[in-house]
Amino acid sequence: MPTRKDDPFAEQIDAFLAYIALERGLSKHTEAGYENDLRQLAAFLQKRGVGGWKDVSAEDVGQWVHSLGEDDYVPASLARKLSAVRMLARFLVKENVRPDDFTELLETPKLVRKLPGTLSANQVDALLKAVPLNTAHGLRDRAMLEMMYGSGLRVSDLCALSLHDVDREQGFLRVLKGKGGKQRVVPVGGCALEALHRYIEEGRPQLLKPRTGSELFLSQWGRAISRKMFWVLVKRHAQAAGISQPVKPHLLRHSFATHLLMGGADLRAIQEMLGHADIGTTQIYTAVNPSRLAQAHARYHPRGSA
């Protein structure tokens, strides 16, 4: 197996990763995904005997995508991987490593948009009530679940919150807007605020350690709780609640959006709260409950009812 020194692709991948970290403002999670995708492609190219990025062709990348499809990668994953390669190709042209973009003729895999799963209001209520409130960890978990469902946060946004991001008096959070590093303001409901207040006053002090900073949700080591650990906690509480379907953190975000839409909330307002850059991304929730669209048409369209 070649060492990193012998890898003809590593130097430009490293340069590209440094570029997007400084210039594009992408999240660490996105950067890690791009790095994994590009190193995966580089390993494939080396097996094909390609000498470096100057020698890569569209056919090489097409064969890589085809091989991933045979390994049961879904179209969405393939499209994401190809997006990373396209960004790298443009970077190589920009840096005069090669004169052409070797991805120009490649087609993006057709995406089949999958409807997001949701929990019913009763299931959410059961999940929240399954969390014991007699420990610091229970107070933390209840507050995190309440805020994720009550504000539609991404799990990465939730775990990254600090005390300074919360305005308990006004009932708002400041979180990063989408993936570009800008802030957005998100309202927090009364139940979530109550759970958060109790956690901050009663639970968080018990989790503090000498080196704890301003992180809001703390692990047993006094540092910010990780996304991975939160996934484990959500699964544990869902099992305790007797919910049979698989419950992941993102399901609470989907439930937040779906329940708002079913209650009559404006799609643009939901878009802003979710931090979607494109309204088209938010519109997928209109397909979850088609009966609501029929009711809206009957109520508001001049010819909607006989």
The CATH number given to whatever domain includes residue 70 is 1.10.150
* Residue 113 backbone dihedrals phi, psi, to 5 degrees: -70, 120
- The answer on 155 and 268 residing in a single domain is yes
Q: How far is CA 215 from the centre of its chain?
A: 20
The answer as to whether 33 is a domain residue is yes
- The answer on 129 and 81 residing in a single domain is no
The mean-pLDDT minimum among 111-120, 260-269, 271-280 falls in 111-120
What does the alpha-carbon distance between residue 83 and residue 222 come to, in Å, rounded to a whole number? 37
pLDDT at 241: 95
- The answer on 61 and 161 residing in a single domain is no
**Burial tier of 114 (Cβ tally within 10 Å: 0-12, 13-18, 19+):** exposed
- The answer on 185 and 136 residing in a single domain is yes
Task: Indicate if 168 belongs to the active site.
Answer: no
Task: Indicate if 285 belongs to the active site.
Answer: yes
Which CATH number fits the domain that encloses residue 253?
1.10.443.10
The answer as to whether 107 is a domain residue is no
**Of 81, 142, 154, 204, which one is the catalytic site residue?**
154
Q: How many domains does the chain have?
A: 2
**Of 80, 174, 179, 236, which one is the catalytic site residue?**
179
Tokens read off for 81: 């991987």
What does the alpha-carbon distance between residue 118 and residue 267 come to, in Å, rounded to a whole number? 17
- The answer on 170 and 227 residing in a single domain is yes
pLDDT at 113: 56
**Of 184, 236, 276, 292, which one is the catalytic site residue?**
276
Whether 305 shows a pLDDT value over 80: the answer reads no
The answer as to whether 100 is a domain residue is no
Residue range 223-238: mean pLDDT, rounded: 94
The answer as to whether 246 is a domain residue is yes
Give the tens place of pLDDT for each residue, 120-146.
889 999 999 999 999 999 999 999 999
Residue range 58-62: mean pLDDT, rounded: 90
pLDDT at 146: 94
Give the tens place of pLDDT for each residue, 195-222.
999 999 999 999 999 999 999 999 999 9
Task: Indicate if 250 belongs to the active site.
Answer: yes
Q: Whole domain around residue 209: which residue ranges?
A: 121-289
- The answer on 271 and 143 residing in a single domain is yes
Mean per-residue pLDDT over the chain, rounded: 84
The answer as to whether 282 is a domain residue is yes
pLDDT at 271: 78
pLDDT at 1: 40
Whether 24 shows a pLDDT value over 80: the answer reads no
Three-class SS of residue 200? Answer: helix
- The answer on 88 and 46 residing in a single domain is yes
- The answer on 257 and 208 residing in a single domain is yes
pLDDT at 181: 58
Which amino acid type is present at position 245? Q
Whether 267 shows a pLDDT value over 90: the answer reads no
Task: Indicate if 228 belongs to the active site.
Answer: no
- The answer on 74 and 161 residing in a single domain is no
Give kind and range of the element (H or E) at residue 93.
helix 75-94
Tokens read off for 195: 């759970």
The answer as to whether 8 is a domain residue is yes
Task: Indicate if 253 belongs to the active site.
Answer: yes
The answer as to whether 299 is a domain residue is no
**Of 204, 253, 254, 259, which one is the catalytic site residue?**
253
- The answer on 65 and 27 residing in a single domain is yes
**Of 34, 149, 199, 285, which one is the catalytic site residue?**
285
pLDDT at 281: 67
Residue range 102-118: mean pLDDT, rounded: 71
**Of 39, 98, 235, 250, which one is the catalytic site residue?**
250
Give the tens place of pLDDT for each residue, 81-91.
888 999 999 99
Residue range 175-192: mean pLDDT, rounded: 74
- The answer on 246 and 151 residing in a single domain is yes
- The answer on 38 and 180 residing in a single domain is no
